[in-house]
Amino acid sequence: MISGILLLDKPQGLSSNAALQRARRLLGADKAGHVGSLDPLATGMLPICLGEATKVAGEILSGRKRYRFTVALGARTSTGDAEGEVVETAPVPSLDRATVEQVLSRFLGEQSQVPPMYSAIKRGGQPLYKLARAGVEVERAARQIRIDELRLLDLRPAELELEALCSKGTYVRTLAEDIARALGTCGHVKQLRRLYVEPFDGEPMETLESIEAAVQAGGKPRLLEPDRGLTHLDPVWLGAPAARRVAHGQAVTVPEVRQPGRVRLYDAAGRFMGIGEADAYSIVRHRRLMTTAGMGL
């Protein structure tokens, strides 16, 4: 069974799930899941966990994301991006770089953001975007997000080109609307590209075309090992007896572990076993183990 993390450069026009299913079929993977949805309009990095790597998808989801996007000023759309109908227009004031950068600085740090109606968040089992398409709008609870960087790359008469590094759960469409409003007008996302998902900054991506070419040539695309997405977790190496106990569901004491929290588990041969949890007493228990954990011990 194929296993690993595929860094897909999602093309414009496909939903994240459609891109996932196409990649899964090309590779013949039984299990697959993507990390962090991208709108059909958006392009860029969509990590896809295949096989055993699906067990670490939740941890990768917590990573920050970097986006490059263009905000078209003067028109707000029903979806917050170029795919929606224009629902509001407003004149665009004369803007200079200093003014825009001063406004952008207000969006840095921790803040609350109300998710848009055109999102996959569910209400009563229904995704909000389905309710929105039916003309129904419901109240959404604000979520805490964090924006660590927000840079102005280019300023044109009615457009801003921006780059942002933000926490999970940040909706760039909503951010773009809020920025436009703070500049005294309205706006929407014209283009959006996700440059990377942490910790994959600088890693090359595969396209659907390169995947197909690799498969047709009898090979496979570049896949990362499941633990490559867990570099934010401390590694814990277990001796043979301890690894055997953990593989059988038992807790072990590891004196070297002094901080509570999730950890990466490795056996004495350096093989990745899965995700563990350490408590304040240096006791480590498994959370998610690879199917191969414990083999050969």
pLDDT for position 205: 98
Of all residues in the chain, what percent carry a pLDDT higher than 70? 92
Q: Which of 9, 30, 39, 201 is catalytic?
A: 39
Average pLDDT score over residue span 201-215: 97
| Cα–Cα distance list, 295 to 49, 55, 115, 231, 246 (Å) | 22, 18, 45, 24, 12
Nearest CA to 21 out of 64, 50, 1, 53 is that of: 50
Sign of the alpha-carbon dihedral angle for 239, 243, 246, 250: negative
Q: Are 42 and 10 in contact (CB under 8 A)?
A: yes
Q: Is 39 a catalytic residue?
A: yes
Average pLDDT score over residue span 202-212: 97
Task: Mean pLDDT check: name the lowest of 13-27, 61-75, 79-93, 122-136.
Answer: 122-136
